[in-house]
Chain A
Amino acid sequence: MNNQVIECQHIVKKYGSKFALNDFTVSIPAGKVTGILGPNGAGKSTFFRMVMGLVRPEQGHMQVLGSRPGWQTNKDIAYLPDRARWYADHTVEKAMQWAENLLPGFNRERAEKLADFMDLDRSMKVAGMSLGQEARLMLLICIARDVPMILLDEPFSGIDIVSRERIIGTLIDNISETEQTILLSTHEIDEAESLFDHVVFMENGQVRLTGEAETLRAEHGSMETLYRKLYR
């Protein structure tokens, strides 16, 4: 049985003359937390968008949950886009209703519990929220879904420490309770690295290094140290 939720083989994607993904080959294991790491421009966001079928490769072969990526497979994926914002005219309550109506697998009960844990009052308006609160809301919308895979593109970017800790706490609960596959890209390696089962280091649209986090730790030290080593 194929235990890889995502398989990429020799994927190429260009924007003009610049390669976003250049002979990109990777396999993402099911049921684990995989960290997608790398500097700006490494191709992390392009990779995520490709998994969601929002961007198509020019060359290469790709399978997501056993099918070609596209809107049909997206019903099984919860995606937090990079630099995402939420609808400014919503309240927390309205956001949850939107998700309930439009996002398959949205678990209202779990969402309510998460909202309490994240300290988000139902009547709070999105327009009046801090970025950290907005980030917590968007993460909640993604995580409160009973779907096989969750993609989080830079969920910690620009977020205050308290919000980050809540998010990490939520993810830990999620990992305990479910068999979901989680893909997470981030710059805040030191905070998130203890969550990773598996890591993929990217650079210039290619995979530089990939493996089990614990194995890599034994060989190289912390993921942060390894990151510095790789991208000196």
Chain B
Amino acid sequence: MAQHVFMHLVKHDAIRRRARSKEYSRWWLAYPVLVALVGIVYFTIYVSSGEFQPQYLLYWTVALPYGFFMIAFARTHRERQNGTFGWWLSLPYSRFLLVSAKYTASVLYGIFCVLIAFVLTTLLSGYASLLNPMFGGDFLKQFFKAEFLWYGYLLCFIPFMAAYGMLTSFVGMSYLKPLLPLMWIGFGLSGNGFIWLTTKWQAFKEGPDPLHFAPQAWSWWGIVASFVAAGLMLAASAKIMEKQLRL
């Protein structure tokens, strides 16, 4: 029975469409489409100019860990804001189950975002190789490999950041609220974790080098430790939800 409930909770949390009271006009779609078209044109010009390097496509991804935190934070925070908190809290299931379901939904959403990013990067680099043969052939193969490893590594950051985001939200609602500034400082530090782990010490000023990125052996232990930490934070969230909430 609990499993069944868990699935439904995850489903409920994972698929939250924006509430629209009226059917919106299809015209609004025109804007994103326009932006996409302009983007592609700009991209084409940029690649043809010779300034572009495919690894540039990956630089922005270092911000994603912050996103993973915010997804989880917002999910819990929103529950309190929009008046449905009482319903969630009074569900007759263990706090750990409720917390885990929300967490799972956040993690799934994070994975989804990474997948989208991966697909976009692949498509754009493929397109770039068509425009400039220098980016094709062997180079493209090497790029795909690097990209795959890069995004795979990024995925490993989701569990920790999502658990941390959720915990921060709970701390903010509890008697432990005084700890909140520390939590946010920690957020700033850990969000940078991805950058640190992907940038060679020697070339720190130049930033990450996705093409020649190879995770250090010890960082895998760090990843495992982060999973354990995520589990602990999840348990902590459940504990706060059970005993410490300021209602």
Contacts and interface: CB of A to CB of B under 8 A. Distances in A.
A–B direct touch, CB within 8 Å, in complex? Answer: yes
Interface string A74-106: 110101011111111100000000100111100
Interface string B35-59: 0000000000000000000000000
Given A55-B247, A127-B19, A101 B90 contact: no
B21 interface: yes
A127 B21 contact: yes
B34 interface: no
A18 B243 CA distance: 20
A128 B92 contact: no
Most chain A beta-carbon neighbours within 10 Å: one of B17, B83, B95, B243: B83
Contacts of B9: 102
B84 interface: yes
B247 A74 contact: no
B30 interface: no
B83 A89 contact: no
Contact of B90 (A52, A72, A125): A52
Given A84-B87, A89-B19, A125-B21, A101 B8 contact: yes
Given A54-B247, A88-B19, A101-B5, A71 B92 contact: yes
B86 interface: yes
B82 A71 contact: no
Interface residues of B, number: 28
B90 A89 contact: no
Interface in B127-161: none
B16 A89 contact: yes
B22 interface: yes
B20 interface: yes
A126 interface: yes
A34 to B, nearest CB: 19
A127 B92 contact: no
Interface in A37-86: 49, 52, 54-56, 71-75, 77, 79, 81-86
A102 B83 contact: no
Contact of B20 (A74, A101, A127): A127
Instruction: Classify the interface of chain A: helix, strand, loop or mixed.
Output: loop
Contacts of A84: 83-84, 86-87
Given A101-B5, A102-B8, A86 B19 contact: no
A79 B123 CA distance: 51
B29 interface: no
Interface in A103-155: 103-104, 125-128
B115 interface: no
Given A55-B247, A86-B84, A98-B12, A74 B91 contact: yes
B87 A88 contact: no
B82 A72 contact: no
A71 B93 contact: yes
B243 A89 contact: no
Contacts of A56: 243
A215 to B, nearest CB: 33
B82 to A, nearest CB: 6
A145 B37 CA distance: 53
A98 B87 CA distance: 11
A85 B84 contact: yes
B63 interface: no
Contact of B83 (A52, A79, A83, A125): A83
B19 A71 contact: no
A56 B89 CA distance: 14
B5 A85 contact: no
Interface of A: 49, 52, 54-56, 71-75, 77, 79, 81-89, 98, 101-104, 125-128
14 contacts: A49-B247, A54-B89, A54-B90, A54-B247, A71-B94, A74-B91, A84-B84, A85-B83, A85-B84, A86-B87, A89-B17, A98-B8, A102-B9, A103-B91
Given A54-B89, A74-B91, A84-B87, 13 more contacts: A54-B86, A54-B245, A74-B90, A77-B90, A81-B87, A85-B82, A89-B17, A98-B8, A102-B12, A103-B91, A127-B20, A127-B21, A128-B22
